[in-house]
Chain A
Amino acid sequence: MTGLNRTALYDLHTGIGAKMVPFAGYEMPVQYKPGVMKEHLHCRAAAGLFDVSHMGQVLLQPKGSLQDTALALESLLPQAVLELKEGRQRYGFFTNDAGGILDDLMIANRGDHLFLVVNAACKADDIAHMRAHLSEVCEVVEVNDRALIALQGPAAEAALSAHVPAVADMKFMDVAVLDSAFGPLWVSRSGYTGEDGYEVSVADGQAADFTRALLSDDSVQPIGLGARDSLRLEAGLCLYGNDIDTTTTPVEADLVWGMQKARKPGGAREGGFPGAAQILDQLQNGAPRKRIGLRPEGRAPMREGTQLFASADSETPVGAVTSGAFGPSIEGPMSMGYVAVDLAAAGTTIYGEVRGKRLPATVTDMPFRAATYKR
């Protein structure tokens, strides 16, 4: 696989039998020997370790005050960054002028600067976008020499606190820089599986030792991209490029929970982000379609692209599936997609066309499986 980047853990992955695939310009492990199903269930039962070093790590280093940098970042997204407290992280999304989503990301306040984690496939564009709009108030620094490792599941706290005791005191969405035998670790208590757990940024040179130390704990197993996808889908979390993109607004994507009061109609800093006119209008008057969860009857998964219909014989689709898979923990198929808003209420029966047949599915509140975050 030429022309692809490798993370600091490449040799470790191949040494333990990972199947590597190209993903967002990187050679990444899609699964290890146990396979997607067992990896998924292990993460829910004990702890799963994920190499997410392909994701972008970005520092916003203020040239003046942190407040100015926070306000400048607010010009690119509909989150309240100003009120984000030191040591805390928040989910957000960059919007475009049409109100669509350019990328989703994590934003952390680390006292004298902000730390962002963005999607691998979007990171070059995100950094260019921020440099174009934020360079007067801050340096946009891409972190190129650190791996990012997620440790997720009920045993994650015990496994990580054996090396870094202070992580046990962190709450969901807390961030901290902690000294360790593997150098300074940038830790957040967060993740993308619906499980309690952590994401840890560690210097490339110490990433393999750190990972081996975690994997030496019997409760910790490495998990590939395959199970990462079924875990995040069970948790009702969006995959950028599938479930959200430049054509979906945050209101359509049902991500209004990720916008704070200060940026909404009547808020202290209402609007002021790209696409605000469209997004604020949809907030007040509704959007024509909405992202929903679906539980197909039977066992057949309704995968990405499956057309959705209001009835078993109607001609015009009312929407489509954007992610669909079998959920190992819920022991059945699950999908996420968009439908016309009048069909978006939980309990509504709609039909997905699978191999020429209309199969019934029930609109379902997400997550499909309740999250276990330590709040």
Chain B
Amino acid sequence: MKFTEEHEWLRVEDDLVVVGITDYAAEQLGDIVFVELPEEGTEVARDDEVVVIESVKAASDILAPIDGEIAEVNEALVDEPSKVNEDPTGAAWMFKLKVTDLSVLDEFMEEDAYKAHIG
């Protein structure tokens, strides 16, 4: 699993890049009450706002960490946004990206570096 400075995690599964938010991000956001996911098939560029999540406190955008096409979204989060607090790095993955070259993941942090990043 790789990590971004924006507190997202990425892992490769069946040639797709699965993206979600970290435990740290979920805890900072507080209780999640709303998730809006992108359409499957959408082409996205790095730093595009692709997911909106709202907690009891505020709305936040989740950015696309890399260029790609939205291959699949986790529809279960729409009806049960609280899954993001319960299992942010597992059941509450947000979307899967189809990318041309998986080596783009190399630039992101390993877990140790991410832990140091959040202090």
Partners in one complex: yes
Closest B residue by C-beta to A38: B31
Chain A residues lying within 8 Å of B54, measured Cβ to Cβ, are 300-301, 326
- Cross-chain contact B56 with A300 (CB below 8 angstroms): no
Q: List chain B residues, Cβ under 8 A from A299.
A: 33-34, 78, 81
Question: In whole angstroms, what is the CA distance A117 to B9 when docked?
Answer: 49
A24 to B52, alpha carbons, bound, how many Å?
30
Give which listed residue, A226, A326, A355, contacts B33 with CB less than 8 A: A326
Judge if B38 is at the interface, Cβ distance under 8 Å.
Answer: no
Binds B, one of A29-37, A66-74, A245-253: A29-37
Q: Which of these, A35, A301, A303, A355, contacts B31 with CB under 8 Å?
A: A35
| B53-81 Cβ-contact flags toward A at 8 Å (1 or 0) | 01011110000000000000000001001
Distance, CA A37 to CA B86, complexed state (A): 13
Are A301 and B52 closer than 8 Å at their CB atoms?
A: no
A37 touching B34 by the CB < 8 A rule? no
CB contact between A300 and one of B30, B34, B58 (< 8 Å): that residue: B34
Q: Which of A295-324 contact B (CB under 8 A)?
A: 299-301, 303
> A326–B59 contact, CB under 8 A?
no
Query: Which of A36, A303, A326, A333 has most B Cβ within 10 Å?
Result: A326
A230 at the interface (CB under 8 A from B): yes
Kindly list chain A residues whose C-beta atoms are within 8 Å of the C-beta of B57.
36, 226
Instruction: Give CA–CA (A314, B10) in the complex, Å.
Output: 42
Chain B residues whose CB sits within 8 angstroms of the CB of A326 once the complex forms: 33-34, 54, 56
A239 interface contact, C-beta 8 A: no
Residue among B52, B56, B58 making CB contact with A37, cutoff 8 Å: B56
Write the chain B residue with the least CB distance to A325: B56
Name the B residues within 8 Å of A325 (CB-CB): 56
A300 and B30 alpha carbons, distance in the complex (Å): 16
CB neighbours of A230 from chain B (8 A): 56
* Contact B31–A300 (Cβ < 8 Å): no
Q: Which residue of B lies closest to A327 (CB)?
A: B33
Q: B23 at the A/B interface (Cβ < 8 Å)?
A: no
Contacts of A37 in B (CB 8 A): 30-31, 33, 56
- Name the distance in Å between B59's Cβ and chain A's nearest Cβ: 7
B66-109 vs A, Cβ < 8 Å mask (1 yes, 0 no): 00000000000010010000000000000000000000000000
Residue interface mask A313-349, B partner, CB < 8 A = 1? 0000000000001101000010000000000000000
B30 touches A36 (CB 8 A): yes
Report A-chain residues with C-beta under 8 Å of the C-beta of B36.
300
Q: Which residues of A contact B52 (CB under 8 A)?
A: 300, 355
Interface string of A10-43 (1 = CB under 8 A from B): 0000000000000000000001000111100000
Q: Is the CB of B34 within 8 A of A31?
A: no
Please report the C-alpha to C-alpha distance between residue A303 and residue B59 in the assembled complex, in whole angstroms: 9
Bound together, the chains give a CA A230 to CA B58 distance in angstroms of 13
Hey, which chain B residues are within 8 Å of A36, CB to CB?
30-31, 56-57
In the complex, A301→B31 CA distance in Å?
13
Residue of B nearest to A40 (CB): B56
Task: Report the separation of the CA atoms of residues A300 and B81 in the bound assembly, to the nearest whole angstrom.
Answer: 11
Docked CA distance A226–B29 (Å): 13
Chain B CB within 10 A, most for which of A299, A303, A333, A355: A299
Q: What residues on A are CB-neighbors of B81 within 8 Å?
A: 299
- B30 near A301 with CB under 8 A, answer no
A203 to B31, CA, bound (A): 35
With CB as the reference atom, state the residue of chain B lying closest to A332.
B33
Chain B residues in 8 Å Cβ range of A226: 30, 56-57
Q: Are A35 and B30 in contact (CB under 8 A)?
A: yes
Inter-chain CA distance A35–B33, complex, in Å, is 13
In the bound complex, CA of A285 to CA of B100 (Å)? 68
Cβ < 8 Å to A, chain B residues 26-48: 30-31, 33-34, 36
Q: List 11 A-B contacts (CB under 8 A).
A: A36-B30, A37-B31, A37-B56, A226-B56, A230-B56, A299-B33, A301-B54, A303-B58, A325-B56, A326-B54, A355-B52
10 further contact pairs, Cβ within 8 A, besides A35-B31, A303-B59, A328-B31: A35-B30, A37-B31, A37-B56, A226-B57, A299-B81, A300-B54, A326-B34, A333-B33, A333-B34, A355-B59
